């Protein structure tokens, strides 16, 4: 019984995200990127990453980890691709993360840049709500 409780409360059932990034691009986007980084790390360890840094994502797995359905994931992909944070291969389930761009956004002290990024994300969110 204790093992079941430990499994239930295990850190493997938690997903953390970068608060600074969430403030710039949005909560769902930050959670999604966090999960992509975890998948990227596993792909590297299992040697399942291309020379260009592309890896395959399992949309159902991401849904189980984030509650974001496939449609939401693909919308976020478009936004992140426009921001050059990710690159999408011919197959929408094969992507790479540009860690330099991502860390640049998180570390940026350029308020105009962060406002521009936020306005891109907010426009997308308004269209989605409509």
Read off the pLDDT of residues 46-66 as tens digits, 9 standing for 90 and up. 999 999 999 999 999 999 999
pLDDT at residue number 118: 66
pLDDT at residue number 129: 46
pTM: 0.81
- Any bridge partners for residue 127, and if so which? none
pLDDT at residue number 14: 84
Return the closest-CA partner of residue 105 out of 16, 19, 15, 20.
20
d(CA 104, CA 84): 11
Return the closest-CA partner of residue 76 out of 22, 18, 8, 3.
22
- Token pair 């998180």 in the structure block, residue: 106
- Average of pLDDT values for 17-45? 94
Q: Angle formed by the axes of helices 70-82 and 111-129, to 10°?
A: 150
pLDDT at residue number 96: 98
pLDDT of 87 > 50? The answer is: yes
């Amino acid at each position: 019984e204790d093992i079941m409780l430990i499994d239930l409360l295990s850190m493997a059932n938690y997903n953390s995200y970068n608060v600074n990034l969430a403030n710039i691009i949005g909560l769902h986007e930050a959670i999604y990127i966090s999960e992509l980084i975890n998948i990227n790390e596993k792909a590297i360890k299992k040697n399942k990453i291309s020379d260009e840094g592309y890896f395959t994502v399992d949309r159902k797995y991401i849904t189980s980890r984030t509650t974001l359905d496939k449609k939401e994931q693909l919308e976020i992909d478009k936004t992140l691709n426009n921001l050059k944070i990710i690159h999408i291969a011919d197959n929408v389930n094969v992507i790479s993360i540009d860690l330099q761009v991502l860390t640049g956004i998180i570390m940026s002290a350029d308020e105009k840049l962060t406002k521009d990024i936020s306005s891109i994300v907010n426009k997308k969110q308004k269209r989605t709500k409509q």
